[in-house]
Each structure stands twice: as C-alpha cells, then as structure tokens.
Structure 1
Amino acid sequence: MKISYNWLKQFLKVDWEAEKTGELLTDLGLEVEGIETVESVKGSLEGIVIGKVLTCVQHPNADRLKVTTVDLGNGEPVQIVCGAPNVAVGQTVPVATIGTTLYDDKGEGFVIKKGKIRGEESHGMICAEDELGLGTSHDGIMVLDDALVAGTAAAKVFNIEKDEVFEIGLTPNRADGMSHYGVARDLRAGLMQQNVSLELISPSVSDFHVDDRTLKFDVVVDDTEKAPRYVGVTISDITVKDSPEWIQNRLKAIGLTPINNIVDVTNYVLHELGQPLHAFDAAKVKGNKVIVKTLPTGTKFTTLDGIERELHEEDLMICNGNEEPMCIAGVFGGIESGVTNNTTSIFLESAYFSPVSIRKTAKRHGLNTDASFRFERGIDPNFTKYALKRAANLILEVAGGKVSSEIVDMYPTKIEDHQVYLSYEKMNRLIGAEIPKETVKNILASLDIKFNSVTEGGIGLTIPSYRVDVTREADVIEEILRVYGYNNVEFSHKLNTSISFSEFNEVKVENIVANQLISQGFNETMANSLTKAEYVSLSEMLNEENNVAMLNPLSNDLGVMRQSLLFSGLESVIYNINRKNNSLKFFEFGKTYHKFESGYSEQKHLTLFVTGNRTKESWNIAQKPSDFFYLKGIVTILLQRLGIQNLKTTPTKNDVFSEGITLSLGKIKLVDLGVVKRAVLKEFGIKQEVLFADFNWENVLKVGGKSQVKISELPKFPAVKRDFALMLDKEITFTEIYNLAFQAEKNLLKEVDLFDVYEGSKLEKGKKSYAVSFLLQDEKQTLTDKQIDKIMQKLQNTFEKNVGATLR
C-alpha cells in the first residue's frame, strides 16, 4: 500500500524527515518497506528558468532556424539557436540552461550542453511543453505570461510538486491503516509517545447541504446480512472532465492513473478515508430505484473490464428497478452503468458490506480491487455517511452541479462497538514489565479508545468501530505495547531455562540424513503445504473427501492442504527443467494432511526426487543417467546410516509408480520408491523419467531410534542368490513377478528383489527388461546345484506361462 507524505501532512502537520517518520510507522506496526521520491513532473524542472527573448534573427545557414538572444535575469543575455516557428522578440519563454537534464516521452534523460548548430553557438534551449513534461504539444515553444520575471525558477511558476511515498507492507489485521487518514491517526498516537502533540485534522463536511429534491432514488436492501448499511445520494447538473491538477498529483503519487473528475473523486476519498464509493450514471439506473440483492446462479453480467461473468447465488449485487445487475457490490462496477463523458447526473453510493461475503465473491471471480481489498478486511461502518458527504462536496467543487436528494441511509441494525475489560495485572504479566498506569491511559486515549470505568485493578473500555481487529483483552495489550514501543520494554539479563533429556533427538537424525543427501549432490526444497484440490485425482489412493480445504483460499491453486509430497515436488522439477536444469536431485522433509471421520491427521515424510544424469557434466566424468537401481542404492545406504538393516522388499501398492518396490522392516513399512508413471508426469509437462522415494518418516524414527537390537541365530547353511534378466511386456508389473515367484516356490524362496529396469531403443517396441534376484535358502541343509537349477527352471516356466516372459 502506498502512502503519500504530502497527503499525510494534510491531516497531521508533521515536519519530520520521511526516513524518521518511516521508522516510527514501522515501530507502530505499519512496516515501511521503502520510501520513493515522486515528482509531478520528472526532473522537477530543475535548471529551467524564465527568459525574455531580446532579439530574433534568421539563422545564416539554415532556413528553419532562428538565432535569438535571451535575458535569463542575471544581466548577461545568452545566444540560443531555436527551431520553433513561433519564436519572436518580446516573448516570455521557459529556457533549459546548460547542464539541465530533460526527459523524453520514454523517461530517458538527455543533458543540455553548450554547442554549435550550423556554425552558430547555442547556450541553452527554449522549450516546448512536451519537452518539459507539461503537456503533449510540440507545435512550438511555450509562450508565458509577460508579467513573469526573467530568471524565475520554472518550478515555482508551474507549481511542481515533489513528494515522498511510503510503501507500507500492511498486515491483514490492520484494516484501520488502509487510508491516509488511518495512517495519520496511528502516527499521531506514536508521536504523542515521542512528546510531540499534534492535532488530527479531519476534512470538514459541515457545509454539505441538499440543494433540491428533483432526483429521488428509492433504495431497497433485500439482504441486510450482506449489506448491513447502505447510503446513497443523487447529484445532478455535473460536468464530467479532467480532474484538477492537485487531485491528479495525489493519485499519480500513489500509482493511480486519473480517469475523470467523478471517478477520481471516488478514488481520492477511498485512499483518503478508506471508504470505497461507487458512482452510477443516474440516467442509466432504470426506474430510479436501487435494489441490493443476490441473483440466481448463472446470471450473466459484464464488468467494467469488458469480461462477461457468470454470477453465483451468493454474490451480492447492486441492481436497478428492473432487478438487472449494475455492479458486483464492493468488488467491481458494470460496464453499462458507469460514468462517461456524457454523464450529467449520478447516484453516489457508500456502503458497509460483510467482509466474508465480499472476500468470497472476489475470490470466486478472481478479482482484487482497491474496494474489495478494504471491504474484505473490514471498514468503519460509522464512517459511511461521512465519507459520502466528503465525496459529494468534492464532486461539487470539481464538477459543479447540485445535491438533488436527501441522503438515503439504510442502517436497520447498528453495529455496536466492542466492550473490553483491561486488567493491569494481566497486562504486566503478558508484557513482562510494568508500564505506568498514566502512560497506559494516555496511550489508550490517543488510540480513541474510550473509558467506561476506571478502578485500581483495571479499566472498562469501548473500542472504536474502525478497530475491527481489537476484540479481546490481549488485543488491547498489544495495542498498548506497539505504541509504547517494544524497544522500550526493559528485560532482565538473567536467563532461566529448562533442559530436558532425550535419548533420541529427531532434529539430530534429520540433520544426519540431510548432510548425507547433500554430500551425494541433493538439494533441499521446502514446498508450500497448500496445493491444488484436483491433484488427488492423479492417484486412486488419494480421496477428495480426505482433502483439508481452506475456508478462504488465496487462490484455486492453494485451495487444500496436500495429501502427498509428490505433486509439489514435481512442480519444482518442471520449474527447473523449464530453465534448462535437467539433472536434478531434491529432498524434502514435510507433512501431509488428511481429514478422516475420526478427525484430522498429519503425517511426516521424507521424499527424494531424482531425474536426469547422476553427476554434473564434466570433461573427465562420463555421463550416466539416473535409474531405479541408483535411487534404490541411495535409499538403502540412507537407512543403513540410521542403523536400519535386513530390509524386506515387496512390490509397492502405490499407483503413482509405473515400477516400484516397498522396503519394510518386519511389518513396518518404511519407504516406497520407484519410477513415476508417465501419466502423472504428463500432467506437469515433464517428458523425462523421474524417480521418487517416499519415506514414512515417523516409522523410520520409530525403528531407527531404538537402542535395542534384536538378535537371532545365524543360519547354519548358506543362502544362494540367482538372477534373471526377464524380457516382458511393458504393462507387466513387478507385483505380478513377485507373486508368481512365491506361488512357484513357497519353501526355499526367501526374497525376490527388483534391482534394475531397462527400457530403451535396443529393445523391441512395447517391451522392457527386468533384472530380478532370487534368494534361496534351506535352513536344514546346503542346497545342491541340482535343487537350485530345478527351482530356477520352475520359476522360468512360471514366468513364461503366465506373463510371456523370456530370458535375455
């Protein structure tokens, strides 16, 4: 949010430097992120002076140039070559002196230098209005009033304004600071703590009056819950034209483009007082009637930006007498009822709309306007009528006209101020220091908080309506502390702490794992826990009803809490691939969130993402692509680093993998890993293979944190491992191979492991190669070659018969 210092000084006659004021605003909770100098004319006409043309003769070497002498008020006339057709003796003109910087229409500067033009010396430049930034005309030089004195600075003649603009990072709770008046009000309280007492100057509306009652509008509010207060008045016989320079300068300083005097006044009051307003062309309001209501879902409505939108049944609308929509209440106006250059009368609206209703509507239509920004956070319901009068007075001042109706004020149920009791004892306990009671009272008074009762133990308070965020005793204490100054609270130099003993430190384990992964070339990522709701459709293991949805999402892309870390990780992968970074190794510690009938659940995970080559490109290292076996090795070593061994390998049930396995310790599942399905990758625009591992971190900590070691007797007879390189159809999964193997041999087969997958151009189309190992062991005797060969033949026959596998 931008705040003009010159504008701020209209309410508070502060003479501090902008930097010092910015520091105080930051201490008050209105964080100043930067201060920018703004000029109504770029360069502020520095170096431009008023000159008098003494002589003007034809240039001897150019038909279109004149040689002039100009008095610049210093007693030494200078010679200037000028190409303007209208230059003449006796004129009063603006002159850019030597060393002056002028700016072109693109804002690029060029310096006026002494030089020769076609053999004649020129010591400056007589300027046209577009060369000074005072207009667009380039037909000739500017000819000024003869009463101006030579040598006068042009900045004084043209009233050039220089301003300093604060960029304030406004937190959502500080709705009271969403205007220049609100910031001035807060600044006054801060200055009082600095022993600087200044009067807060409010714009006067005492001269508002009704001229006649010739243009009456009926107002009907159907939904008083969404529109608790609605105020309006008509103004006729206006002239729509450009705003005066002072309004334009104020709006330009905070980054707004002036449109016309009526729209500019509504924007001016919005940023001055924080109250959004809207002006309707009265001639376009059918039936001279305004109805505030909702319309059926699917109703078409074209907004000011020319986009046709479909309304929702909960969108509050401003309608005409025919119940046709004219404006999305508090969000955006309609294209059919707006003010144009032909408008001669208006209906001026000022209202208080429900913050929840406005936020839902704005997010539903993807709109974020200055009005919705303020309504969403909560404006002052008691400022509504005052702001209307202020805007009406300004419109009469800049557009002429007359007030043609009484003010209509629909306010059936007054919004009451909050009542809060402040306990001195609780305040001192929360702050950790004792603030004098008189200081507390002065701070509360400076914040317009009224006293209902005062006792030795505390104060009964009434909170002003514009402080929508102050509803509890703790909120009042925070107000006292921010004005008193956090830096002014003394603290003890004594440090008390309690240290708890823990045999197993989770943070230490995470650091061990992170350091190992970093040493293997991984980078840690931290993705947003909010994600798209539709991601759950990419896996049958995720259910939409388990989504933890946001009540007021920032956007459709951040509507729910994630059920899986895979999709946010793939967003990071494609982000890097799109920037030519194709070889990636990421890891992330994060949580998934689920909603079940029994309640909400959070589960911590560690995920790994690997894609592209294993190592960075180098002249002395041959490039080798990452593959399933590479990822499995990283996962296994990681678990071994935590003392987790003797892992059991089974086919994964997770359907995000085209090929994958699950590593477990006994019945405790530790990690799923494998190759992400192409269908999933396609949703993110990823065309290269991505390997993914998902650790159930809570289970890893459970088994890795145990100091006890389970000991079993070593087998007396050796195990035998044999491998098959199986050629299979692409649709065959490791799960099928795994199950078929144990069906064929139930007694002596102990483990089946997939250690490599190959899909390449050297294979027949539609085929892939599995490298599968089989661990055979007899606990009673040593296996003979004949037994082993018989089992392997049985396995081969089973694979050939059931899945059409062949040995490579």
Structure 2
Amino acid sequence: MKISYNWLRQFINIEWTPEQTSEILTDLGLEVEGLEKYQSVKGGLEGVVVGKVLTCKKHPNADKLKITTVDLGADAPVQIVCGAPNVAAGQKVPVATVGTTLYAKDGEAWKIKKGKIRGEESLGMICAEDELGLGESHDGIMVLDETLNVGTPAADIFEIENDTVFEIGLTPNRADAMSHYGTARDLKAGLLQKEVKVELITPSVSAFNVENRTLKMDVDVIDKALAHRYCGVTISGIKVTESPQWLQHKLKAIGLSPINNIVDVTNYVLHELGQPLHAFDANKIEGDKIEVKTLKQGTKFITLDGVERELHEEDLMICDAEKPICIAGVFGGLDSGVNEKTKSIFLESAYFNPVSVRKTAKRHGLNTDASFRFERGIDPNITEYALKRAALLIQELAGGDITSDIVDIYPKKIEDFQVRLSFENAKKIIGEEIPKETIKSILTSLDIKVNNVTETGLGLTVPAFRNDVQREADVIEEILRVYGYNNINISNKLNASISSMSRFEDFKIQNTIGNQLAGQGFFEILSNSLTTPSYAALSKQLKTEHNIEMLNPLSNELSVLRQSLIFSGLEAISYNINRKRQDLKLFEFGKTYLNFSEQKEEHKHLAIFATGSQDSESWNSNSKLKSDFFYLKGVVTAILSRLGVSRYNETPIKSDLFSEGVSLNLGKIKLVDFGLVTKSVLKYFDVSQEVVCADFHWDAILDVIKRNKIIFKAIPKYPEVRRDFALLLDDNVTFESIHKIAKQTEKQLLKNINLFDVYQGKNLPKGKKSYAVGFTLLDENKTLNDKQIDKIMKKLQTNFEKQLGAELR
C-alpha cells in the first residue's frame, strides 16, 4: 500500500521528516518497506531559473540560430545560443543553467554543459515546455510573465509537487489503515505516546446541499445479506474533463493514472477515506432504477476491461431495470461508465459483504482497489460521509447540482464490539505492567471507547471498523503496539518449566524416525494438503465422493484435501527429475483427509520415496546400486525394528498403485504398504524411471508401540554356533517358507536365519535354484556340543526335504 507524505499531512499537521514518520509507522505495525521520492516534474526543475533576454542577434555561422545575452540575476549576463524562432529581446524565459540535469520523455537524463555551437560560446539553454517536462509543445521557447523577478527558481513558479511516498507492507487484518485517513489516525496515537499532541483533521461536508430533486433514482436492495448498507445520490449538469493538477499529482504519487475528474474523485476518496465509490452515467441506467441482487448462473456480463464474463449465481450485481451494470464491490460494466459525454451521474457508496466480494473477485480473477478493501472489511459508518465528500469534490471540479436526496438503505446496523479488558491479563501477556492511565489514553486515541473503569479492568466499546479487535487479546495487542514493543524491558530473570511427557508422544517418535531416515540419506519434504480432485481417479482404492472440497478454492488444482500422500511425493519427484536430479530419496510426515457420509476423518501417514541410485557418485566406489524393492524393504523393516515392532505378517497386496507390493500387518492392523509404483501412475506424473514407495499408517503404528512391553535380558555368556546349508530348491520356493519351517522345527535354540547367497544358472537343473542359508544356534544356559547341533541340523534337513523337496548340494 502506498501512502503519500503530503497527503498524510492534510489529516495530521506534523513537522517530522518522512524518515522519522516512517519509523513511527513501523513501530505501530504499519511496516514501511521503502521510501520513494515523487516529483511532478522529474528533476524538480532544479537549476532552472527565470532569465531576461537582454539582446538577440543572428548567429554568424548558422541561419536558424541566434546569439542571446541573458540576465540570470548574477553579477554578469551570460551568452546562450538558441535555435527557437520566437526568442526575442526583452522576454522573461526559463533558463537551464550549466550543470542542470534535464530529462527526456523516455526518462533519459542529459546534462547542460558549457560548450560552443558553431564556434560561439553557449552557457546554458533557454527551454521549451517539453524540455522541462511542463507540456508537449516544442514550437518555441516558453515566454514567462514579465512581472517575474530575474533569478527566481522555476520550481517556485510552476509549483512543482515534491513528495515522499511510503510503501507500507499492510497485514491483512489492518483494514482500518487502508487509507490516508486510517494511517493518520494510527500516527496520531503513536505521536501521543511520544508526548506530541496533534489533532486529526477531517474534511468538512457541511456544505452538502440538495439543490433540486429533478433526477430521482429508485434503489431496491433485494439481497440485503450481501449488501448491508447502500447509499446513492444523483448529480446533474456536470462537465467531464481532465482533473486539476493537484488531484492528478495526488493520484500519480501513489501509482494511479488519472482518467477524468469524476473517476479521479472516486479514486481520491477511496485512498483518502478507505471507502470505495462508483459513478454510473445516469443516462445509461434504464428505468431510473437500481437493483442490488444476484442473477442466475451463466448470465453474460461485459466488464469495464472489455472482457465478457459468465456470472456465478452468488455474484452480487448492481442492475438497472433491464440489465446488470456492475459487479458489486469489484468491477464496473463497460456500458455504464463515465465518459466525456456524461452529463449526470448516480454516485454509489456501499458496504458489501466481505466474503461475498472476495469469492466473486477470486472467481473472475479480478483484484481491484475496491475489492481489496471490501473483502477485508471497511468502516460501515462512513458510507454516507464519504458519499457527501465525493459529491462536494465533484461539484467543485465538474460543476453540476445535487439533484436527489441521499438514498441510505441500512436495514440492520453493524454493531460495535463489546470487550472486557483485565489489567491482570494485560500484565501477564505483555510481561510488564503499563500504567492504567496510559492504557486508557492509548485506547481512547484509537477511538476505542472506555465505558466503565474498575480496579480490575475496563469495559470497552470497539468501533465496527476495527473488525480485527473483538477479543481481550486483540485489545492487548493494540495497547502493546502503540505503547511500543521496544519500550518493554527485557527481564534479567529466566523462567523455565519442565513438563511431564510420555516417551510415546507423536513428535518424539516422529523426530526419532526422521533422524534415522536423514542418516540414511533421505530428505524430508513438506507438501500442500490441498490438491487436485483428479488424483482420486488414479486408484480404485480412492473414491471421488470421499474428497473434502474447499468452499472457496484458489484454483481447481487446489480445491480438495488429499486422500493420499503418494501423489504429493510423486509431484516432488517429477519436479526434481525435470531439473536433472534423478537420484532421490524423500520422506514426508503428513495427514490425509476423507469424507464419509456419517463423518469426516483425518489420518496421519509417513510416506517414503526412492528412485535412481541408492548413493551419490563417489571416486572410491564404482557401484551404482538402484533403489529397488528390496532396498525399500530394508528401509521399512529398519524403521519398524527401531520402533520395536517385530511381530507382523507379510502379505502380497494387489493395488493399482503398486505393480509389486507387500503389506505388513499386525493381526487386522495395517502397518505399512510398500512396493514398486505402477508405470501408469508414473506416466501421469511424467516420470519414466522406477520409483519405490512406502505408505506407513502412522496412527496405527503409534497405537501398537504404546502397547509394546520392553523386556531386558542379560547378554548370553555362552557362544553362538553357526551352520550353513546349500539347498537346491524349486524356483517357486520362497525364503519366507524356509524361515517358517526352520522356526517351527527349532523354537528354542535357533536364534537367526540368514539368506546370504542365491544362485541360478548353468550346472543347475532347469526350474531349480540354490539358496545358501545360515542358521545361528545359541543355548543361553550352556555351551552347545556337536551332538546337539548335528541333531538340530539333521531335523532341519529332513523337514526341508519333506516339505519343500529340497536337496543338499
């Protein structure tokens, strides 16, 4: 938001420099992000003075040039060579002295230097309008009033506007400060804390008077829930022209382009008071009637920018007796605007529902100064005042008469907020006790009325324009920002508290696993919970009807809450691969959201993704192991092991998300699904390389680990014994079946079973493979002897031969 320093001083008479003022505004929470200089004429005509042409004669070496001597008010006149046809002795003219910088139309700077033109010395330049930036004419030099004193700076004659503009980073809650008046109101409160008492000057509207009632406009607010207050008045006999220079300068300083005196007045009052206004050409309003209502879905409407838009059934429209003429609070219509032929207008001032305006502006991709203010909430109590202010300015600049009474439809007044402030709570939150009188002074300076005072607190009435101050905490924040955060002392005492917390708290477990994954080379990602509804169609396990839709989405791509973290991760993988990062290991903790007919649910998940090589390139390693299914399985089992979850069932899963997938379950509780993502899903995300993914059901895992009982055992003092088998097996035999048979055969002494080699190829019968399996045996009470060991191994061999058809190689 841009605020003009000169404009600000029309409301509050301060002698502070712009730099000092910016510091106060920043301390008040209106952070000044930058200061810009504005000059109505670039360069400010610095170095240009009034000169008197004493003599003028023809240049001896050029037909179209003349040699002049000019009095600049110095000790001696100077010689200037001039090519203007109208230069003559006795004239008062603007002269750019040596060293002056002038600016061309394109902004390019050029400096006046001492030089020679066709052999004759020239010490300056007699200027035309366009050379000074005062007009477009280049027919000849400017001839000034004869009464002007020689040597007078040109900036004093032409009233050059020099201003400083504050660029304020306004937070969305500060709707009250979206104007010069609102900023001045805050500045007054800030100055009061520095013991600088100033009055807030408000423009008078006492001169407002209805001259006649020859142009009445009937107004019917049909949708009162969307238009809380609507005011209007007609002005006839106006003349639409350019605005005067002072008004143009005010608008240009804050980055607005002047249009005409009527539109400029509405923009001026908007930025002056924060109240959006709109002027309609009264002759284009059919039936002399205004209706404020919504129209049916699909109604066509051409806005002021010439774009035909299709209206939504919830868009509030300003209509005449036959057609829509304006999108309320957002944008005017092409056929109802003011132009040079306009003779009478209907001037509108209103308070529209902030939510309605925001939705409409977002639907149509429009962001105007009016919608910016309406959607944040303006002051409902200045609607009529701003209308009068604008009407008087229009009369001053465009003539005309007020030709109707003001229509003010305000069926249900927007009430002020009643808040109770406790001195004790203020002290606790602020961290320091502010004197009660200071608190009352601050609140009063912010137009917050103190209704009653007790020993414990204050009863307050907060004005409706402060829609961000409705709670005690909000009032305390207002006190603190005006009192000054920098004025709060920092205590030398350090207070700390220790809370009793379970080791199974979610964030603790999450940090543990996050650190483990980071140690394995994974990077954590954080993706948006909002996503596109089309993802639900990628899997039969997801249902479109389970999508939780946003009431007011920013776009269709961010219109529902996600049902799965997998698609968010694939988006990140696609983004990185397209930027030449093919080796990726990512993980994310996040929630999924489901909409069932009886209730809405949210579940926490941990998603893990890997693609490309397991490790980055290195000079001492030539291996480029791919992140495949078995690598991911190792990561998954390591996580479960770290959490103390070892008893689970492994079952294959059939899913249109995984071409090869496994589910790990504890009874009926699903812990994790993982596998190789299908090519069809990868193609949707434009990913051509293999991706493995794991989806942990984090809520279920937290419940499981809370029930785990930790049993401590002494480290066995007797040695382990290992024996190996090389088993010739059918191709369809899995290591899982070997593991299961071995555990059933010897439950007490068999501690570990390890598959350390697999061979398939020549020298083996067709349809066969060789597994090298290691078996670790341990008796915790004594040392095993060969006889016991041989007995166990013989039993294992027999069971493998009977149940699997295995042979020892």
What range describes the TM-score normalised by the shorter chain of this pair?
0.7 to 0.9
Change (3 A) 1:391 1:432: same
What amino acid is aligned across from residue 445 of structure 2 in structure 1?
A: S
Which residue is equivalent to 1:471?
A: 470
| Alignment of structure 1 residues 487-636 onto 2, 5 Å | 487-490=486-489, 492-500=491-499, 502-503=502-503, 522-576=522-576, 584-596=584-596, 599-610=599-610, 627-628=627-628, 632=632, 635=635
Give the Cα separation in 2 of the matches to 1:25 and 1:445. Answer: 18
* CA deviation after TM superposition for structure 1 residue 404, in Å: 1.2
What amino acid is aligned across from residue 51 of structure 2 in structure 1?
A: G
Which residue is equivalent to 2:788?
A: none
C-alpha contact 1:631 1:691 (8 A) present in aligned 2: no
| Alignment of structure 1 residues 677-692 onto 2, 5 Å | 677-684=678-685, 690-692=691-693
C-alpha contact 2:292 2:319 (8 A) present in aligned 1: yes
Change (3 A) 1:643 1:289: closer
Are residue 226 (structure 1) and residue 226 (structure 2) matched?
yes
What amino acid is aligned across from residue 132 of structure 2 in structure 1?
A: L
Give the Cα separation in 2 of the matches to 1:692 and 1:457. Answer: 60
Change (3 A) 1:703 1:772: farther
Deviations 1:532-577 (A, max 9, x none): 3444333333334444444444444443333333444444445455
Superposition RMSD in Å: 4.3
Which residue is equivalent to 1:731?
A: none
C-alpha contact 1:649 1:752 (8 A) present in aligned 2: no
Which residue is equivalent to 2:150?
A: 150
Which residue is equivalent to 1:288?
A: 288
| Alignment of structure 1 residues 43-58 onto 2, 5 Å | 43-58=43-58
What amino acid is aligned across from residue 486 of structure 1 in structure 2?
A: Y
Which residue is equivalent to 2:789?
A: none
| Alignment of structure 1 residues 653-802 onto 2, 5 Å | 653-662=654-663, 669-684=670-685, 690-698=691-699, 708=710, 780-782=795-797
What amino acid is aligned across from residue 391 of structure 2 in structure 1?
A: A
Are residue 387 (structure 1) and residue 386 (structure 2) matched?
yes
* CA deviation after TM superposition for structure 1 residue 785, in Å: 10
Give the Cα separation in 1 of the matches to 2:6 and 2:538. Answer: 55
What amino acid is aligned across from residue 280 of structure 2 in structure 1?
A: F
Which residue is equivalent to 1:456?
A: 455
> Match of 1:483, SS?
helix
Give the Cα separation in 2 of the matches to 1:122 and 1:524. Answer: 71
* CA deviation after TM superposition for structure 1 residue 693, in Å: 4.2
Which residue is equivalent to 1:398?
A: 397
Give the Cα separation in 2 of the matches to 1:774 and 1:287. Answer: 96
Deviations 1:580-609 (A, max 9, x none): 656555444433334445655444444444
Deviations 1:413-436 (A, max 9, x none): 322323333343444444444332
Give the Cα separation in 1 of the matches to 2:201 and 2:798. Answer: 99
Change (3 A) 1:364 1:75: same
Give the Cα separation in 1 of the matches to 2:240 and 2:729. Answer: 87
Higher-Rg member (1/2) = 2
C-alpha contact 2:574 2:687 (8 A) present in aligned 1: yes
Give the Cα separation in 2 of the matches to 1:576 and 1:49. Answer: 63
| Alignment of structure 1 residues 109-120 onto 2, 5 Å | 109-120=109-120
C-alpha contact 1:234 1:404 (8 A) present in aligned 2: yes
Change (3 A) 1:422 1:498: closer
What amino acid is aligned across from residue 203 of structure 1 in structure 2?
A: P
> Match of 2:455, SS?
coil
Are residue 131 (structure 1) and residue 146 (structure 2) matched?
no
| Alignment of structure 1 residues 307-326 onto 2, 5 Å | 307-322=307-322, 324-326=323-325
C-alpha contact 1:589 1:606 (8 A) present in aligned 2: yes
Structure 1: tracts of 5 or more residues without a match:
726-736, 757-770, 793-808
**Greater CA deviation, 541-550 or 301-310?**
541-550
What amino acid is aligned across from residue 207 of structure 1 in structure 2?
A: A
Give the Cα separation in 1 of the matches to 2:270 and 2:87. Answer: 45
**Greater CA deviation, 394-403 or 645-654?**
645-654
TM-score (norm 2): 0.82
Which residue is equivalent to 1:805?
A: none
What amino acid is aligned across from residue 311 of structure 2 in structure 1?
A: L
Change (3 A) 1:498 1:648: same
* CA deviation after TM superposition for structure 1 residue 245, in Å: 1.4
* CA deviation after TM superposition for structure 1 residue 394, in Å: 0.8
C-alpha contact 1:593 1:601 (8 A) present in aligned 2: yes
Change (3 A) 1:79 1:530: farther
Are residue 297 (structure 1) and residue 297 (structure 2) matched?
yes
> Match of 2:796, SS?
coil
> Match of 2:375, SS?
helix
**Greater CA deviation, 693-702 or 557-566?**
693-702
| Alignment of structure 1 residues 425-436 onto 2, 5 Å | 425-436=424-435
Change (3 A) 1:744 1:625: closer
> Match of 2:287, SS?
helix
Give the Cα separation in 2 of the matches to 1:619 and 1:106. Answer: 58
Change (3 A) 1:741 1:513: closer
Deviations 1:392-449 (A, max 9, x none): 0111111111111111111223223233333434444444443322222222221222
What amino acid is aligned across from residue 710 of structure 2 in structure 1?
A: Q
C-alpha contact 1:28 1:482 (8 A) present in aligned 2: yes
C-alpha contact 2:675 2:692 (8 A) present in aligned 1: yes
C-alpha contact 1:294 1:315 (8 A) present in aligned 2: yes
Which residue is equivalent to 2:102?
A: 102
**Greater CA deviation, 28-37 or 257-266?**
28-37
Are residue 270 (structure 1) and residue 270 (structure 2) matched?
yes
Which residue is equivalent to 2:766?
A: none
C-alpha contact 1:604 1:696 (8 A) present in aligned 2: yes
Give the % identical residues: 61
Deviations 1:138-180 (A, max 9, x none): 4444343333333322222222222222222222222211111
Which residue is equivalent to 2:4?
A: 4
Are residue 413 (structure 1) and residue 415 (structure 2) matched?
no
Which residue is equivalent to 1:768?
A: none
Deviations 1:610-646 (A, max 9, x none): 5566677889987959553586278358638937787
Structure 2: tracts of 5 or more residues without a match:
745-752, 759-768, 776-791
Which residue is equivalent to 1:259?
A: 259
Change (3 A) 1:460 1:72: same
Deviations 1:426-473 (A, max 9, x none): 444444443322222222221222233333343333222212222333
What amino acid is aligned across from residue 797 of structure 2 in structure 1?
A: T
Give the Cα separation in 2 of the matches to 1:238 and 1:685. Answer: 62
> Match of 2:479, SS?
helix
> Match of 1:228, SS?
strand
What amino acid is aligned across from residue 400 of structure 1 in structure 2?
A: G
Change (3 A) 1:627 1:317: same
How many residues get paired? Answer: 763
* CA deviation after TM superposition for structure 1 residue 63, in Å: 5.0
Which residue is equivalent to 1:335?
A: 334
Which residue is equivalent to 2:787?
A: none
> Match of 1:309, SS?
strand
TM-score (norm 1): 0.82
What amino acid is aligned across from residue 9 of structure 2 in structure 1?
A: K
* CA deviation after TM superposition for structure 1 residue 354, in Å: 1.6
Give the Cα separation in 1 of the matches to 2:520 and 2:142. Answer: 71
Change (3 A) 1:651 1:89: farther
